[in-house]
Amino acid sequence: MTTMLLRTSASVAVMAFAIGSAAAADVKLPSEISWTAYGTTSSGYAQSVGLGKMLKEKYNADLRIIPGKNDVSRMVPLKASQTPICACGIAAYFAQEGVLMFAAKDWGPMPLYNLFSNVGRNGQQAMTAADANIKTAADLKGKRVTWVKGADALNQNMTAMLAFGGLTWKDVQKVEVPGWGQSIQAVINGQADSAWGSTISSAYAQLAASPRGLYFPPLPHNDKAGWERAKAIAPWWSPSKVTAMVKGAKNEVPHEGSNYPYPIFVAMNNASDDLAYGLTKAVMENYESFKENGPGMDGYQLANQNLAYVFPYHPAAVKYYKEKGVWTAEDDKHNAMLIKRQGVLAAAWKQMQGKGVAEDQFAAEWLKVRAAALKKAGMPVIFE
């Protein structure tokens, strides 16, 4: 009896090893992978470190994380072909659309593909120093609010936060800082009262433990007018019941806030099929092995993926989602529309190159050309 049990157990172990080896064999990753991410104190960077640990243990692939202090610096390595992937925030959407800081001669619309995203239990919203007594978005009036140079994603989101409370930047004291990390430090040091970020960022721990304290003003889901004002500026926002929050925040959970995928793993259209398919499969199928490797990792699950978001998916990533039986005909239709949109933007950009517009007038003229092309194609302009 004992011998039979030992043989059976050994057989099961061998089978499990064989299945695991077969799964690993399906993933063809290069020995070295790199992607850009937010700074070293961000939750996105911490999550990248956690994913890198899994990639090393499971596939013997070394990850190099390239931190950037603002949205432009995170996209430069992609444009320069130093890496094809970015663990980005919503600024990647601005890059795809060729707007805001990407509406410049040296930029323009970038052809980006989604691979996968983290859609977790955290929130994306303004944080405040608790001693500033900012209980609602409207209470930001007259307060010191950070503006991060070169970080249109952060600033656009903060603009939407102000709009939720019926405010604009004219209603607050703008505190300009050079990077996201400095925006948090400004609040900690008493130079500002509010900054933008994820509710699980480790950078908030110092503020939460300080005499100032940490508080996230709620975004009540029944405030339809507030949500309408905010989404007119940030259409990627979604009402979310936030249950993941940095320890020490003076909030009850669940908390009525806002969320959107972060990080969003996007790749340039020159990303190889092996990399796009292999990385997507590696992350989607190894959740149990990396879920404790960083803050807010629960969003890297197949069931959490939004396959009809604002970016088209890489064909090799689509192959994986089809294999898993989660890619629908509607997803396919939506994806085709987004790829067509990128084509319209690329054609408009080519048209713009022949205009010879002066530097100081370039962005304004490009937005006109862009809007005309999208309207002609029957597509929403969004940014005008």
- Considering the domain architecture, whether residues 112 and 135 belong to the same structural domain is answered as no
- As a whole number of angstroms, the distance between CA 121 and CA 320 comes to 25
The structure tokens listed for 82 are: 């130093």
- Considering the domain architecture, whether residues 13 and 48 belong to the same structural domain is answered as yes
Residue 382 belongs to some domain of the structure? no
Amino acid at position 198, single letter: S
Give the domain range for residue 14.
Answer: 2-119+263-376
What DSSP string runs through 296-337?
TGGG-SGGG--SSSSSPBPHHHHHHHHHTT---HHHHHHHHH
- Considering the domain architecture, whether residues 274 and 224 belong to the same structural domain is answered as no
Percent of all residues in the chain with a pLDDT value above 90, rounded to a whole number: 77
Confidence (pLDDT) at 234: 87
Q: Is the pLDDT of residue 122 over 50?
A: yes
Confidence (pLDDT) at 305: 94
- Considering the domain architecture, whether residues 174 and 69 belong to the same structural domain is answered as no
Nearby residues of 13 by Cβ (< 8 Å), 6 or more positions away: none
Residue where a domain terminates, one of 259, 292, 319: 259
What is the rounded end-to-end Cα distance, in angstroms, of the chain?
A: 76
pLDDT in tens, 225-257: 999 999 888 888 989 899 989 999 999 999 999
**pTM attached to this predicted model:** 0.77
Q: List the single range of 4-18, 196-210, 367-381 with lowest mean pLDDT.
A: 4-18
In a 10 Å sphere around its CB, with 0-12 CB exposed, 13-18 middle and 19+ buried, how is residue 239 labelled?
middle
Residue where a domain terminates, one of 259, 277, 305: 259
Residue 38 belongs to some domain of the structure? yes
When pLDDT is averaged across residues 284-310 and rounded to a whole number, the result is 93
Confidence (pLDDT) at 8: 39
Residue 381 belongs to some domain of the structure? no
- Considering the domain architecture, whether residues 107 and 134 belong to the same structural domain is answered as no
Amino acid at position 168, single letter: T
When pLDDT is averaged across residues 79-107 and rounded to a whole number, the result is 93
CATH code of the domain containing 196: 3.40.190.10
User: Is the separation of the CB atoms in 48 and 62 below 8 Å?
Assistant: no
pLDDT in tens, 190-199: 999 999 998 9
Residue 358 belongs to some domain of the structure? yes
Structural domain count of the chain: 2
Q: Rounded to whole angstroms, what are the CA distances from 381 to 55, 99, 260, 319?
A: 39, 11, 21, 30
Residue where a domain terminates, one of 259, 285, 301: 259
- Considering the domain architecture, whether residues 163 and 231 belong to the same structural domain is answered as yes
